[in-house]
Amino acid sequence: MKDHRAFQYYSRLLSFEAKQDNFTSLAEIAEVLCTTPRHSRTLLQQLQERGWLSWTPKVGRNQRSILHLRFSLMELQQQLAKRMIEGGQYKKALELVNGDQNQFAALLQQTSGATLREGQLHIQLTYQRIFSHLLPHKPLRNSERFLVRQVYACLTSCDETGQIHPQLAHHWQHNEDATVWRFYIRPQLRFHSTRPIDAPLISELFNQLKSLPEYRQELSHLVKTSASHQCVTFELDSPDLGFAGLLSDLRYSIQPPLQLANNQSDSIDGCGPFQVIEQSDKRLRLQAFEHYFSLRSLTDTVTIWQFDQTPSERIQFSRSGQDSSNAPIEHPAHLLKTNDAEANSSQSRIENGCIYLLFNMNSKPHPLSFAQRKYLSKLFSPSLILAREGLSELLLASEPANSLLPGWTKVQPQEMEQTPLPDRLDIAAYDHLVILDCANALCAKLNQMGIASQVNVYPFSELHQQAEQGVLEEAIVIASLNVDDNLPVSVFRWFCSNPILHHGLSSEAKCWLNEQLGDIRQNCDVGGYLNKLESIGTTMQYENWLTPLFHHRQTLRWRGVLQGVTMTDWSWPDFKNVWTDE
């Protein structure tokens, strides 16, 4: 008997009292179940085998049999729906809870984790917002950046120390002055759609990327890209010792050139360890790509359900002990006891990057002066924000920042002298919980000082678009420096081409910054980037062009016997290396 049918029969029996002995007869039960006594006896036996009830028949005149129902309707509904979810039967689970999205979302959260089904490992998680399209050439928030790394691969990869490793290119070389770079492409590469990846396709991709506005600054020195057999050649008009590192950035993920004009997510075609098999406003489903150029993922599928809810400061997942969709349902108290007995593990660290405040030197009608920026840099301290009531858990778990990266030189704001401020100072922010907490705290402080202020909240992509178009007029912008697994390159790229940062700088400041970055490119390999960039960041703080506010504390928790769980630079678990020895 199928679960759904069994649940219907059990719900009819709840005309008797649950969780106590009911003295009755088979004839009375048959009447409740709307069937014959003989069939009722069979149904009772089947429901008892499932562990849902106990049935003690009595024989003889005036003897009453005993029926004991172990669950209320809600308890059984939830436990049965959980088992369906763990078995990947999401549609049936939603039908079982009568389409109640809130109850379904709660059950998905309770069952988040790793499940072994028919020898395959499946990971299920929930997330607090809908993901944007996983297109590497578009502005992406932190979680989308992580997902792009799962779906795509680059010509090279770069670790946090600046060491460059091969990916789709197995070797590369450059001429004496690092103005001509050749990358040798692996044979038999394919996209998830099975379309071949070859040198001419990669050459065409980079020719198209160069023409996009968001790539013009960092590819301004790229003169020509060409292909011959399995080799792609890049010709530059100035030396770039770290060019192989630049191509490790997720924005240079290899994708079909035709995809650059596609703003939809229903045909994402990557070449990474996972392929997208579904992306909707309800869930994102990934499946291991069997023809990935490197080691195949240990995880077979990943399903991330998306709900509108307040985010936690940590990602949690566990290992389900059920390997069979037909296993008896345990009593909820037993399930809770079993979970509590499992070993809990966690990883936590302070992220690279930060939430920062940027003074917009192109604000209307007039930008703030140096004295005003200096005054506000000291006034708008992390302690001022933390003193505000009603802050989110995410912000309370963060660490005050004195530098753009946690390992860089701590820059203390200079002693402030009270300086007259404009009558109005508006704040631009995007829809991120911690950023909005910061923006609202600073806005409230300005209002207390008698200065008119409001927080203008933009969608993430729109804030970037406004900055690129040069029409962002607010005096203050609160944004985030997000870095990836290629730390030195990621930070360099932020300085080089982040549209929000560049829009906020004066023309003189941008000219100085571009000169500094050009010097780094010509004279420094990727391993030396961070030392040079630290000096640039410190100067920008001393000039009060920007002020770091908080470093986010990343925490990953998991339960059970999962192996190979590690936290990535985006605070998500490394899906492809999770496994279990059961």
At 267-290, the pLDDT tens digits run 899 999 999 999 988 889 999 999
pLDDT of residue 325: 40
Residue 10: which H helix or E strand, with range?
A: helix 3-13
Q: Are 235 and 219 in contact (CB under 8 A)?
A: no
Separation between Cα atoms, residue 555 and residue 184, nearest integer Å: 39
Cβ contacts of 84 within 8 Å, gap of 6 or more: 3, 90, 92, 93, 96, 325
Q: Does 326 score more than 50 pLDDT?
A: no
Burial 312-335 (b: 16+ CB within 10 A, else e): ebbbbbbbbbbeeeeeebeeeeee
347-354 mean pLDDT: 88
Instruction: Quote the Cα angle for 501-247-145, to 5°.
Output: 60
- The pLDDT value given to residue 249: 97
Predicted confidence at residue 421, as pLDDT, reads: 94
Separation of CA 501 from chain center: 23
Q: pLDDT tens-digit profile of 212-239? A: 988 999 999 999 999 998 999 999 999 9
pLDDT score recorded for residue 560: 63
Place of tokens 């060019």: 243
| Separation between Cα atoms, residue 11 and residue 13, nearest integer Å | 5
Q: In what order do the strands lie in the sheet with 546-551?
A: 399-400, 546-551, 353-359, 476-482, 427-430, 455-458
Query: At residue 341, does pLDDT exceed 60?
Result: no
Higher pLDDT, 336 or 121: 121
DSSP element (H, E) containing 169? strand 169-174
Does position 317 have pLDDT exceeding 80, yes or no?
Answer: no
User: Within 10 Å of residue 51's Cβ, how many Cβ atoms?
Assistant: 14
The 10 Å Cβ neighbour count of residue 228 is 11
Q: How far apart are CA 148 and CA 134, in angstroms?
A: 6
Taking a C-beta distance cutoff of 8 angstroms, is the pair 571, 556 a contact? Answer: yes
DSSP 408: S
Res 562: pLDDT = 73
Give the pLDDT band of residue 332 (cuts 50, 70, 90): very low
Answer whether 0.85 is exceeded by the pTM. no
Minimum mean pLDDT range among 328-337, 385-394, 396-405, 527-536: 328-337
**Number of C-beta neighbours around residue 16 at 10 A:** 18
Helix 3-13 and helix 26-33, axial crossing angle in degrees, nearest 10? 120
Residue partners of 90: CB distance under 8 A and separation at least 6: 84
| pLDDT top residue among 203 and 391 | 203
In the predicted model, what is the mean pLDDT of residues 488-493? 97
DSSP category for residue 414 = P
Count the neighbouring beta carbons within 10 Å of the beta carbon of residue 99.
9
Examine the pLDDT at 45 and tell me if it is beyond 50.
yes
Break the chain down into helix, strand, coil percent, rounded to 5: 35, 25, 40
Set out the domains of the chain in order of their start, with CATH numbers: 3-70 (1.10.10.10), 153-254 (3.90.76.10), 353-551 (3.10.105.10)
pLDDT at 322: 43
Percent of the chain having pLDDT more than 70?
92
pLDDT of residue 561: 62
Q: Is the dihedral of CA 513, 519, 525, 527 positive or negative?
A: negative
Beta-bridge mates of residue 22: 67
Shortest CA distance to 139 belongs to which of 390, 570, 468, 443?
468
Q: How much is the pLDDT for 365?
A: 83
Pair 205, 259: CB distance under 8 Å: no
Q: Is the CB of residue 299 less than 8 Å from the CB of residue 576?
A: yes
pLDDT (average), residues 295-302: 92
User: What pLDDT score was predicted for residue 446?
Assistant: 97
Q: Which among 385, 375, 380, 379 has a CA at the least distance from the CA of 357?
A: 380
79-133 per-position pLDDT tens digit: 888 888 877 788 888 888 877 777 777 777 777 777 777 788 888 888 888 899 9
**Tokens representing residue 59 in the block:** 């024989």
* Per-residue pLDDT at 320: 47
- C-beta atoms surrounding 345 within 10 Å: 13
Residues 428-451 have pLDDT tens digits of 999 999 999 999 999 999 999 999
- Angstrom distances, CA of residue 242 to CA of 79, 171, 246, 313: 55, 15, 6, 35
Torsion angle defined by CA atoms of residues 462, 463, 469 and 471, in that order, rounded to the nearest 10 degrees: 120
Rg value, the chain, Cα: 29
The answer to whether the bond into 365 is cis (omega within 30° of 0) is yes
Between CA 527 and CA 533 the distance in angstroms is 11
Lowest pLDDT segment from 95-109, 294-308, 388-402, 422-436: 95-109
β-bridge partners, 233: 182, 226
Of 367, 302, 338, the residue nearest 578 (C-alpha):
302
Locate 364 and state its tokens.
């209307």
Whole-angstrom CA distances from 83 to 71, 87, 95, 284, 404 are 15, 6, 14, 20, 46
Q: Which of 183, 160, 171 is nearest to 485 (CA)?
A: 160
Euclidean distance between CA atoms 70 and 18, whole angstroms: 6
Residue 559 pLDDT: 65
Q: Is the pLDDT of residue 342 over 80?
A: no
pLDDT at 553: 87
Instruction: Report the range of poorest mean pLDDT among 82-96, 145-159, 185-199, 426-440.
Output: 82-96
What is the percent of the chain with per-residue pLDDT over 90, rounded to a whole number? 66
Q: Are 97 and 104 in contact (CB under 8 A)?
A: yes
In Å, how far from its chain's centre is CA 398? 17
Render pLDDT for 520-564 as a digit per residue (tens, 0 to 9). Answer: 999 999 999 999 999 999 999 999 999 999 999 888 877 666 788
User: What is the C-alpha separation between 582 and 300, in angstroms, rounded?
Assistant: 15
Q: Is the CB of residue 240 less than 8 Å from the CB of residue 521?
A: yes
pLDDT of residue 459: 94
* Mean pLDDT, rounded, for 294-308: 88
The pLDDT assigned to 340 comes to: 38
Residues 6+ away with beta carbon under 8 Å from 552: 313, 350, 351, 353, 354, 355, 394, 397, 398, 434, 571
Q: Which stretches does DSSP call E strand in 334-451? A: 344-350, 353-359, 399-400, 427-430
Pairwise CA distance, residues 270 & 275, whole Å = 7
